């Protein structure tokens, strides 16, 4: 798993990856010091930090990130609040699918400010999307989506928390489905058979 922040998505998968869940977390790779690292350490999950500032270029960082992930020999890579765009060097080196969750109904409101952008546009419904990562910004084939209504007077933190509640559950469901059933890609469409 890749994470950058408070680790609530990571924690949700960590909690799910017990008992009969069909996957286990082999490592957490981060790009900076973050709460997710402590959550991983508390459960005995190895943590590897690859900070961009320690590399001469973005491409060098992507190469180091790819090497760190590859060393873990994952069957699936899941980004959980990882706030960096994975570059072509990382994507070329990937030997497995990369799943990302996003706090909007893609293709609407891609990027780092999806919740703020949805509120600014005055949409009545937003939500969350779980998709495969490609070389665009939140443009990969969609695996699952779920709507979250916007309430009158919603603030960004209030709306974001309601989205996160749905996002955590949906990401867990999709990861379990991808691990047990795989993904079939047909052009821009991705289906879990």
The arithmetic mean of pLDDT across residues 15-24, rounded, is 92
pLDDT of 136 above 90: yes
* pLDDT surpasses 90 at 5: no
Helices 8-16, 156-181: axis angle to 10 degrees equals: 40
**Which whole number is the average pLDDT over 82-100?**
95
* Six-digit token string for 60: 């060098």
The angle formed by the CA atoms of residues 162, 138 and 46, to the nearest 5 degrees, is 75
The answer to whether residues 32 and 3 touch, using CB atoms and an 8 Å cutoff, is: no
**Beta bridge partner(s), residue 29:** 2, 48
DSSP state of 171: H
Q: Where are the alpha helices (DSSP H) in the chain?
A: 8-16, 35-42, 58-71, 88-93, 114-121, 156-181
pLDDT, mean of residues 20-43: 96
112-126 average pLDDT score: 98
pLDDT of residue 35: 95
pLDDT tens per residue, range 61-74: 999 999 999 999 99
Q: Identify the pLDDT of residue 18.
A: 86
What does the pLDDT read at residue 186?
Answer: 94
Q: What pLDDT does 19 receive? A: 79
Residue 135 has pLDDT above 90, yes or no: yes
Q: Give phi and psi for 178, each to the nearest 5.
A: -65, -40
Which of 167, 150, 147, 168 has the alpha carbon at shortest distance from 159?
A: 150
Residue 86 reports pLDDT greater than 90: yes
pLDDT at 169: 98
The one catalytic residue in 102, 113, 121, 160 is 102
Tell me, yes or no, if 102 is annotated catalytic: yes
pTM for the complete prediction? 0.95
21: phi then psi, degrees, rounded to nearest 5: -65, 140
Give the rounded percent of residues in the chain with a pLDDT score beyond 70.
100
- Mean pLDDT over 78-98 rounds to 94
Residues 7, 3: Cα–Cα separation, whole Å: 7
pLDDT averaged over every residue in the chain: 96
pLDDT at 57: 96
Per-residue pLDDT at 60: 97
């Amino acid at each position: 798993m890749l994470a950058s922040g408070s680790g609530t998505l990571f924690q949700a998968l960590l909690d799910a990856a017990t008992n009969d869940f069909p996957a286990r977390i082999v490592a957490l790779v981060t790009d900076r010091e973050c709460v997710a690292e402590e959550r991983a350490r508390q459960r005995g999950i190895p943590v590897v930090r690859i900070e961009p500032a320690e590399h001469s270029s973005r491409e060098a960082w992507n190469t180091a990130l790819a090497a760190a992930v590859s060393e873990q020999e994952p069957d699936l890579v899941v980004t959980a609040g990882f706030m960096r765009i994975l570059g072509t060097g990382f994507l070329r080196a990937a030997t497995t699918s990369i799943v990302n969750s996003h706090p909007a109904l893609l293709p609407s409101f891609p990027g780092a400010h999806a919740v703020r952008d949805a509120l600014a546009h005055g949409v009545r419904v937003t939500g969350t999307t779980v998709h495969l990562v490609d070389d665009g910004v939140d443009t990969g084939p969609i695996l699952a989506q779920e709507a979250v209504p916007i309430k009158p007077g919603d603030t960004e933190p209030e709306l974001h928390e309601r989205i996160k509640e749905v996002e955590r559950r949906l990401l867990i469901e999709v990861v379990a489905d991808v691990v047990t059933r795989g993904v079939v890609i047909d052009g821009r469409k991705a289906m879990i058979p």
